[in-house]
Structure 1
């Protein structure tokens, strides 16, 4: 929503249509408020959602909207140039900026999911697909929350609540929030690649997943055969694997291949983590995984994305 279009050229009529679309997106909640409240039972552990500072957070949200969002929308309205740009330039210009990411992080740290949904709707209704919004807005926002936690700018519960709301946004926009027995399907198998001796990363991801309402099973010492056997005997939506160095790449590839061959869930999503994937995210596809995440809060959101993709395939 926080976008500048000073370099764009848009026909007046088209601009009026776009502004009307944006106004409607903000004015109309995407789903019923009661449904939003009910989603808490799926996307956050009950013991996490106890805070006594709701009023202060809502005041903070109001300040963000009045001091930042509204002035930028007014600027957006005034920066109209007569000639329309190429489509590629328009998409690039509409892509979420660092200010958008920071703004959404502030909103999800508050308590108003409707405001967060409206924020995403404005960008989606301007023509950006959910895949682009995930890669360039939602996942970076989760990553930003993790960075804020690392710098002690917010606490664990703050980050957990924020990530939970990002999960809900994904489920809402991907139409998986109404899936029957949703809570029974949000199960993750977390494992260390055989040969990896560093369990801290897995433990941290497990902690955030549990707080965000996932059912997690951790396998920290198993071989590739043993990890695959766990997935063969129990149903998991997602498997997460970590490695500590390049020496374990071959072991990781073997483990992923066996998971795909033997998993009870034939559409299991696989995410990987570790410093080498942070440095080179494309390597995740080379080892046979579906995605990677640079930190624990982002891993929670990636797990939700993989869950949504599998759910969409099963209902296609």
Structure 2
């Protein structure tokens, strides 16, 4: 039986094939290793007329390639035999109407690499981040009383809400995701745990917002990415934006069209589209790019700042540019201020509409 790439190779010459796969690295690359890998791949891809993107994070590669079927088949023959990775799994393979990564011979980004500066930062850490293991135990044991006592104790010690969110609650969500990916907890445990962290996040005291921003009365639609079941970030943002004086609406769409319909109806000043704060979701990057594109065209005569978030961006495995957004938040804290600045800047550049 022929593969889809082989079938496409005998079709029209202007067809574009797309292939997405994930694999496990057989060694831990340094930042220099990844730069060299990307440089060589770009030269090869350019010669073949192939574009795409490559992610590396926590020992795994995730790559999407797109180009002429014959070129992609030749390239895949080489990639599948490369000794630098194993456990290769093809996630999708099909003909596409247009390239998602047409501007890049190879868009490359990475999170966890063997870098001396990363090691020093990890050793230094933050005082509250060192409480993550104990908070994980409380979460996995369903001890909501213990969680509330921990948060209340930190507040009594003078820790502000922004610090608790950034250095304890969000890192705990990522650690919970790691536990699930390592089969140390069930998907049910993960879901309940994120709900408990969401309640804990509601209890923290948020830092005051500058009066000038509160008077702006900007509006925002906080939405989970279509089909995304984890809504911790979206929920935490609702508190932060409300406290900052924004008009806040929320959406949990099941499709890009549903999100576009709501944006067209409400025409907010900004929209934040959130992926899971716990699980990387590398395979959803192309889908998120489509979501952002649809969101921009939902109300073409209205300027809307588009923000994205989730662990994929917190780990620096992807950027706003990767998905065509205006901003990618590494944390929920400070997002209202950053988006207010972007709204003001866009209005200055384009004028009122």
- TM > 0.5 between the two? no
With the length of structure 1 as denominator, give the TM-score of the two structures: 0.44
Higher strand share: 2
Higher RCO, 1 vs 2 (CA within 8 Å, ≥6 residues apart): 1
With the length of structure 2 as denominator, give the TM-score of the two structures: 0.40
Whose Rg is larger? 2
